[in-house]
Amino acid sequence: MKLTTLSMLLLFCSFAWAKDTKPVQVIAAHAVTREDAGVKSQLDAVFIGAGRPRTTVDSFNLDTKIDGENVFLACDVPTGCPAPAPGKYEGEIVRGKYVRFTYELPVTHKKTRLWYHIAGTLKDEKETH
């Protein structure tokens, strides 16, 4: 029984993704305002209908450098993402499409862990001239 349990545990562990951590340097954050897509907003749409008051969410997309490549990260959270301060962080690349990293918010020093979608690459100024 113990051998079966151990072999099942090893089998399930082999299916897990290996964590691909890379240094992420946040260069700039860009404010984006969009309509709230959170649970409360969706419930208001169902119960109140089309005439409901619309709420907007301030979110931030990021210009980053990952492994020397300039990458644009878009916030994928329906309720918005706060902006991390420019600096270096450890990011986890998940399925090649998402970056997840943890950072502290200023003043409150609350640790925030959010997902950002890899939306594209940015061109260097040297390449455009």
pLDDT tens string 17-29: 556 788 899 999 8
| Domain positions in the chain | 17-128
125 or 39: which leads in pLDDT:
39
Q: Higher pLDDT residue, 41 or 85?
A: 85
Q: Are 86 and 97 in contact (CB under 8 A)?
A: no
- Residue 127 is predicted with a pLDDT of 47
3-state helix, strand, coil in the chain (%, to 5): 20, 45, 35
Cα dihedral: 106, 107, 110, 114 (round 10): -30
Q: In this predicted structure, what is the pLDDT of residue 1?
A: 64
Task: Decide: pTM greater than 0.75.
Answer: no
Residue 52: HSE in the Cβ half-sphere, 13 Å Cα cutoff: 16
